[in-house]
Amino acid sequence: DAKTTQPTSMDCAEGRAANLPCNHSTISGNEYVYWYRQIHSQGPQYIIHGLKNNETNEMASLIITEDRKSSTLILPHATLRDTAVYYCIVRVFSGYSTLTFGKGTMLLVSP
């Protein structure tokens, strides 16, 4: 699986959009980009994933660059409950998911 690089921490004001970047310059053509988040002391929670097209669901949007070497997770209207560690993971879409979690980005949403 390709390696990812994320900023250690980010701040965002409540109600504003949170844009979390991820670099995955060595991504292969059959590797997907996954985003998970972990709210303090809880198990990680799946957010969204994509291959090359931009994706949106009820939680967030995922923007993947045309060359697929980087992506951005967008939380359109961040709330205090979005304060968490966000993990960007790149992996081949296969039956089982031995995901490799790095240290992620600590997003702090402030009033």
Partner 1 sequence: NAGVTQTPKFRILKIGQSMTLQCAQDMNHNYMYWYRQDPGMGLKLIYYSVGAGITDKGEVPNGYNVSRSTTEDFPLRLELAAPSQTSVYFCASSSLLAGANTGELFFGEGSRLTVL
Interface ranges with partner 1 (CB under 8 A): 32, 34, 36, 41-46, 49, 87, 91, 93-104
- Least separation in angstroms between residue 14's CB and partner 1 is 25
Tell me whether residue 28 or residue 100 sits nearer to partner 1 (CB atom). Answer: 100
DSSP letter for each residue of 54-76:
-EE-SS-EEEE-TTSSEEEEEET
Closest to partner 1 by CB, 18 vs 85, is 85
- Phi, then psi, of 39 in degrees rounded to 5: -80, 145
Spatial strand order of the sheet with 105-110 comes to 9-13, 105-110, 84-92, 31-38, 45-50
Alpha-carbon distance of 1 to 89, in angstroms, equals 9
Q: To the nearest whole angstrom, how small is the minimum distance from the Cβ of residue 97 to partner 1?
A: 5
Which tokens go with 61? 């949007």
User: Min. distance of Cβ 111 from partner 1 in angstroms?
Assistant: 25
Nearer to partner 1, 29 or 43 (CB): 43
**Cβ 79 to partner 1, closest distance in Å?**
21
Closer to partner 1 at the Cβ: 5 or 16?
5
